[in-house]
Structure 1
């Protein structure tokens, strides 16, 4: 049996009781480390609470070499842990499909995710979000502008956009960097960049940062420790406006 278990947003205590019980009752535990991170904890704290040794997986392990996960699920009960909700990534969906093709039963234990948390922290109404996008760190000879096009399309449709910021093994993209990169994209495409942003840091922690305003305000703001996420809102409903004024300094 292969269980997909979400860890929630910030630290080792965000896991559900159901998820924790499943970890403790299973034979092998795998932790996917590339789509999200629990920045409020570390592996040692997680292993202490969960009572199990964690096998850390990179993107290559999951996408191209998933055999050890599948073999563990064939021999007994295996758990595949992910930050947030377990099925928000297409690579996780692919792993579940592969398991089913090999006759391995699967189950999902859900958890809180950033996609729901941003609504509570920003006050933006969940049904007004369009397609999300990710802003990667540019590399030599590679500077994709697709994220800007997604944002501008959503703005044309009066929809909000969740902008996921890049995670590297040695660094995490900040809200400040994300806005600067979006502005560079706009310059390359000769298009007008968004006028309003909302930056969020450490969702799920006791002290999340939520700041709304124009690019200059957010580029100079100190959001503190990761993880950061960016929202580009469409035209604000009066309740959304008031919420941001009250809780995000708009």
Structure 2
């Protein structure tokens, strides 16, 4: 059996009972280590699960899946995934490969940012398409995300933006020369994300990300305890002026608030606002939300 096991969002104890039972049954277990990260080291997982873990980077999962799947038709092999197994298309691909090899597959689900984003107070059924925002470079500034945000905005829906992480990445020179030298890990912060959004808005000028008129909510380490999880709400202009430490440690996500905004959403997210008065004023005057003042 090939198991793909969701680990949840925070630490070694977020695994489900079903997931832990599957881990205990596996003769070989891989830890996917590039689409997201947990808030604890691999050693904490190994101590709690009482099993050694094999780190699986992008190359292994995407190009060496045969090694991961080796023997899974005769014994239990597991792949641990931060969040939920279907949070990244990579995992759908390895499931298809396993089934093509006639290997039985079992998926064990867990919490992910896709549903835990509700911690900010916005209602999940008011979200549209989720988008990813990658690090810009001097020569590469992809802006296809903007079209999806606009499509959501046209439907008055919220947009969850997943911010880029760079783990075990090579720079252009080392990549071109085939040198296995990797850059230090990088995690996009909310201020950097807001800066990139506003840069593209200035080029597109569709007025869906007007700094003073667009409400947004930054989240970090969702699922952690009170000392870890941070939620900060405000206009894009508000968020752009906050020091980086306000937003907490990575991983960060950002929500662009859509016009389909209920007064309970406004009131719930207001507790995290940089400026509560401005938050309410924009919700009422720009978003047309009926509020009891």
TM-score, with normalisation over the residues of structure 2? 0.81
Q: Residues 96-133 of structure 1, C-alpha deviation per residue, up to 9 Å, x if partnerless?
A: 011001000000111111111111x1111111111110
Q: Please report how far the alpha carbon of residue 74 of structure 1 lies from its aligned counterpart in structure 2 after TM superposition.
A: 2.9
- Aligned-partner Cα distance in 1 for 2:74–2:190: 44
- The answer to whether 1:224 aligns with 2:248 is yes
Aligned residue number for residue 70 of structure 1: 69
Q: Which runs of 5+ in 2 are unaligned?
A: 168-184, 280-293
1:74 partner SS: coil
Pairing of 1:107-118 with structure 2 (within 5 A): 107-118=106-117
TM-score, with normalisation over the residues of structure 1? 0.95
Q: Which runs of 5+ in 1 are unaligned?
A: none
- Aligned-partner Cα distance in 2 for 1:185–1:246: 29
Q: Please report how far the alpha carbon of residue 247 of structure 1 lies from its aligned counterpart in structure 2 after TM superposition.
A: 4.6
Q: How many residues align?
A: 248
RMSD of equivalent CA atoms: 1.3
2:87 partner SS: coil
1:190/1:247 Cα in 2 relative to 1: closer, same or farther (>3 Å)?
closer
Residue pair 1:28, 1:72 contacting (<8 A) in 2 also: no
- The answer to whether 1:166 aligns with 2:164 is yes
Q: Please report how far the alpha carbon of residue 202 of structure 1 lies from its aligned counterpart in structure 2 after TM superposition.
A: 0.9
Pairing of 1:42-61 with structure 2 (within 5 A): 42-61=41-60
State which structure, 1 or 2, has the greater radius of gyration over its C-alpha atoms: 2
- Aligned-partner Cα distance in 2 for 1:67–1:98: 8
Aligned residue number for residue 149 of structure 2: 151
- Aligned-partner Cα distance in 2 for 1:139–1:72: 42
Aligned residue number for residue 11 of structure 1: 11
Pairing of 1:119-130 with structure 2 (within 5 A): 119=118, 121-130=119-128
Structure with bigger RCO (C-alpha 8 Å, 6+ apart) = 1
Aligned residue number for residue 180 of structure 1: 195
Q: 2:225 aligns with which of 196, 206, 231?
A: 206
Pairing of 1:18-57 with structure 2 (within 5 A): 18-38=18-38, 40-57=39-56
Residue pair 2:23, 2:29 contacting (<8 A) in 1 also: yes
Residue pair 1:202, 1:226 contacting (<8 A) in 2 also: yes
Aligned residue number for residue 131 of structure 1: 129
Q: Residues 137-163 of structure 1, C-alpha deviation per residue, up to 9 Å, x if partnerless?
A: 013421111112211221111001000
Residue pair 2:165, 2:186 contacting (<8 A) in 1 also: yes
Aligned residue number for residue 189 of structure 1: 204
